[in-house]
Amino acid sequence: GGSGRGVGDGGDAGDTNGVFSETPVEMETWDWSKCERYCRTCRIWRPPRAAHCRDCGWCVIRFDHHCGALGNCVGRDNHRWFVLCLCSVSGLVVVLAVESVAALRDANWPRAKNSFSDPIVVTLLACVIVYGSCACLSCFAISHVYLWLCDVTTKEVLRPRRGCEPRSADADIEAGPGAERWRRLCGGLDVGEHG
Protein backbone atom coordinates (compact mmCIF):
# COMPACT_ATOMS: atom_id res chain seq x y z
CA GLY A 1 0.00 0.00 0.00
CA GLY A 2 1.13 3.41 1.11
CA SER A 3 4.60 2.54 2.37
CA GLY A 4 6.35 5.14 0.19
CA ARG A 5 7.98 2.53 -2.00
CA GLY A 6 8.99 3.14 -5.63
CA VAL A 7 7.23 1.82 -8.69
CA GLY A 8 6.24 -1.85 -8.40
CA ASP A 9 5.50 -4.04 -5.46
CA GLY A 10 9.07 -4.95 -4.61
CA GLY A 11 10.46 -1.40 -4.52
CA ASP A 12 13.32 -0.07 -6.65
CA ALA A 13 17.04 -0.77 -6.60
CA GLY A 14 18.51 1.18 -3.73
CA ASP A 15 15.27 0.97 -1.72
CA THR A 16 15.85 -0.26 1.82
CA ASN A 17 12.88 -1.21 4.00
CA GLY A 18 10.53 1.16 2.23
CA VAL A 19 12.87 4.17 2.49
CA PHE A 20 14.79 5.50 -0.52
CA SER A 21 18.55 5.52 -0.12
CA GLU A 22 20.53 8.75 -0.32
CA THR A 23 22.99 7.42 -2.92
CA PRO A 24 21.86 7.79 -6.51
CA VAL A 25 21.48 4.66 -8.57
CA GLU A 26 24.09 4.56 -11.32
CA MET A 27 22.36 5.04 -14.66
CA GLU A 28 23.37 3.25 -17.82
CA THR A 29 25.12 5.47 -20.38
CA TRP A 30 22.74 6.33 -23.20
CA ASP A 31 24.00 5.57 -26.71
CA TRP A 32 22.40 8.09 -29.06
CA SER A 33 23.77 6.27 -32.13
CA LYS A 34 21.15 3.56 -31.47
CA CYS A 35 18.21 5.97 -31.27
CA GLU A 36 15.92 7.38 -33.89
CA ARG A 37 16.13 11.13 -34.27
CA TYR A 38 13.64 13.50 -35.86
CA CYS A 39 14.70 15.37 -39.02
CA ARG A 40 13.00 18.74 -39.11
CA THR A 41 13.79 19.24 -42.80
CA CYS A 42 12.42 15.90 -44.08
CA ARG A 43 9.84 15.68 -41.26
CA ILE A 44 10.61 12.03 -40.59
CA TRP A 45 12.13 9.95 -37.80
CA ARG A 46 15.58 8.91 -38.93
CA PRO A 47 16.82 5.43 -38.04
CA PRO A 48 20.12 5.07 -36.15
CA ARG A 49 23.24 6.11 -38.13
CA ALA A 50 21.14 7.99 -40.71
CA ALA A 51 21.84 11.65 -41.37
CA HIS A 52 20.42 14.49 -43.41
CA CYS A 53 22.54 15.55 -46.39
CA ARG A 54 22.47 19.31 -46.89
CA ASP A 55 23.71 18.95 -50.48
CA CYS A 56 21.08 16.43 -51.62
CA GLY A 57 18.28 17.62 -49.34
CA TRP A 58 17.19 14.26 -47.90
CA CYS A 59 18.08 11.79 -45.18
CA VAL A 60 20.39 8.90 -46.04
CA ILE A 61 20.46 5.59 -44.17
CA ARG A 62 23.94 4.77 -42.78
CA PHE A 63 25.23 8.08 -44.13
CA ASP A 64 28.96 8.01 -44.91
CA HIS A 65 29.52 11.28 -46.77
CA HIS A 66 28.42 13.37 -49.74
CA CYS A 67 30.75 12.80 -52.69
CA GLY A 68 31.13 15.95 -54.74
CA ALA A 69 33.05 14.10 -57.47
CA LEU A 70 30.15 11.68 -58.06
CA GLY A 71 27.46 14.19 -57.13
CA ASN A 72 25.57 12.01 -54.68
CA CYS A 73 25.58 10.70 -51.13
CA VAL A 74 27.37 7.56 -50.10
CA GLY A 75 25.27 5.51 -47.70
CA ARG A 76 23.98 2.03 -46.98
CA ASP A 77 22.71 1.22 -50.45
CA ASN A 78 25.69 2.38 -52.49
CA HIS A 79 28.74 2.32 -50.20
CA ARG A 80 29.89 -1.03 -51.60
CA TRP A 81 29.71 0.34 -55.15
CA PHE A 82 31.55 3.50 -54.10
CA VAL A 83 34.39 1.37 -52.67
CA LEU A 84 34.42 -0.75 -55.85
CA CYS A 85 34.59 2.40 -57.99
CA LEU A 86 37.50 3.77 -55.91
CA CYS A 87 39.41 0.49 -56.15
CA SER A 88 38.79 0.17 -59.91
CA VAL A 89 39.87 3.73 -60.67
CA SER A 90 42.89 3.38 -58.38
CA GLY A 91 43.96 0.18 -60.13
CA LEU A 92 43.52 1.78 -63.54
CA VAL A 93 45.56 4.84 -62.54
CA VAL A 94 48.39 2.71 -61.19
CA VAL A 95 48.47 0.60 -64.38
CA LEU A 96 48.47 3.73 -66.57
CA ALA A 97 51.30 5.28 -64.53
CA VAL A 98 53.42 2.11 -64.82
CA GLU A 99 52.73 1.84 -68.56
CA SER A 100 53.62 5.52 -69.09
CA VAL A 101 56.95 5.03 -67.31
CA ALA A 102 57.62 1.92 -69.40
CA ALA A 103 56.83 3.85 -72.61
CA LEU A 104 59.22 6.62 -71.53
CA ARG A 105 61.91 4.05 -70.90
CA ASP A 106 61.28 2.52 -74.35
CA ALA A 107 61.65 6.00 -75.87
CA ASN A 108 65.11 6.13 -74.22
CA TRP A 109 64.15 9.14 -72.17
CA PRO A 110 65.98 11.24 -70.83
CA ARG A 111 69.13 10.16 -72.74
CA ALA A 112 67.69 10.77 -76.23
CA LYS A 113 68.65 14.07 -77.84
CA ASN A 114 65.90 16.68 -78.04
CA SER A 115 63.67 14.49 -75.88
CA PHE A 116 61.70 17.52 -74.65
CA SER A 117 60.87 18.56 -78.19
CA ASP A 118 59.26 15.21 -78.99
CA PRO A 119 55.50 15.58 -78.36
CA ILE A 120 55.14 11.90 -77.48
CA VAL A 121 57.74 12.18 -74.71
CA VAL A 122 56.17 15.38 -73.36
CA THR A 123 52.75 13.69 -73.37
CA LEU A 124 54.12 10.64 -71.58
CA LEU A 125 55.81 12.86 -68.97
CA ALA A 126 52.52 14.65 -68.39
CA CYS A 127 50.79 11.27 -68.03
CA VAL A 128 53.34 10.11 -65.46
CA ILE A 129 52.84 13.29 -63.43
CA VAL A 130 49.04 13.19 -63.62
CA TYR A 131 48.72 9.46 -62.99
CA GLY A 132 51.32 9.59 -60.24
CA SER A 133 49.41 12.30 -58.40
CA CYS A 134 46.12 10.46 -58.95
CA ALA A 135 47.69 7.34 -57.40
CA CYS A 136 46.99 9.05 -54.06
CA LEU A 137 43.44 7.91 -54.72
CA SER A 138 44.68 4.43 -53.83
CA CYS A 139 45.21 5.56 -50.22
CA PHE A 140 41.65 6.86 -50.16
CA ALA A 141 40.39 3.56 -51.59
CA ILE A 142 42.33 1.52 -49.01
CA SER A 143 40.97 3.65 -46.17
CA HIS A 144 37.39 3.15 -47.41
CA VAL A 145 37.88 -0.61 -47.73
CA TYR A 146 39.12 -0.62 -44.13
CA LEU A 147 36.20 1.50 -42.89
CA TRP A 148 33.73 -0.69 -44.79
CA LEU A 149 35.16 -3.89 -43.35
CA CYS A 150 34.95 -2.37 -39.86
CA ASP A 151 31.36 -1.15 -40.43
CA VAL A 152 32.35 2.42 -39.58
CA THR A 153 31.35 5.44 -41.62
CA THR A 154 33.52 8.41 -42.49
CA LYS A 155 31.13 10.65 -40.58
CA GLU A 156 31.47 8.53 -37.43
CA VAL A 157 35.26 8.76 -37.62
CA LEU A 158 35.47 12.47 -38.39
CA ARG A 159 32.56 13.76 -36.30
CA PRO A 160 31.91 11.71 -33.19
CA ARG A 161 28.83 12.70 -31.21
CA ARG A 162 29.25 14.94 -28.21
CA GLY A 163 29.66 12.93 -25.04
CA CYS A 164 30.45 9.74 -26.95
CA GLU A 165 33.73 8.10 -27.72
CA PRO A 166 34.59 8.07 -31.43
CA ARG A 167 33.62 4.81 -33.06
CA SER A 168 36.83 2.80 -33.24
CA ALA A 169 37.57 0.87 -36.40
CA ASP A 170 40.32 -1.07 -34.61
CA ALA A 171 37.93 -2.35 -31.94
CA ASP A 172 35.38 -3.35 -34.58
CA ILE A 173 37.98 -5.29 -36.60
CA GLU A 174 38.64 -7.49 -33.56
CA ALA A 175 34.96 -7.88 -32.72
CA GLY A 176 33.68 -9.98 -35.59
CA PRO A 177 34.57 -12.64 -38.12
CA GLY A 178 36.46 -11.47 -41.19
CA ALA A 179 34.50 -13.70 -43.58
CA GLU A 180 31.26 -11.83 -42.86
CA ARG A 181 32.97 -8.51 -43.55
CA TRP A 182 34.31 -9.69 -46.92
CA ARG A 183 30.88 -11.15 -47.78
CA ARG A 184 29.32 -7.74 -47.11
CA LEU A 185 31.86 -6.05 -49.39
CA CYS A 186 31.98 -8.62 -52.20
CA GLY A 187 28.71 -10.51 -51.76
CA GLY A 188 25.38 -10.31 -53.54
CA LEU A 189 23.00 -7.39 -53.78
CA ASP A 190 21.08 -8.30 -50.62
CA VAL A 191 23.11 -6.59 -47.91
CA GLY A 192 20.80 -7.41 -45.03
CA GLU A 193 20.75 -5.40 -41.84
CA HIS A 194 24.40 -4.35 -41.93
CA GLY A 195 24.03 -2.27 -45.09
49 contact partners, CB below 8 Å, separation of at least 6: 33, 61, 62, 63, 153, 156
* From 39, 67, 85, 87, the catalytic residue: 67
- Name residue 51's beta-bridge partners: 60
Q: Distances in Å between the alpha carbon of 88 and those of 12, 91, 141?
A: 59, 5, 9
150 catalytic, yes or no?
no
CA angle 140, 141, 142 (to 5 degrees): 90
DSSP code of residue 63: -
d(CA 195, CA 193): 6
Which residues are known catalytic residues? 67
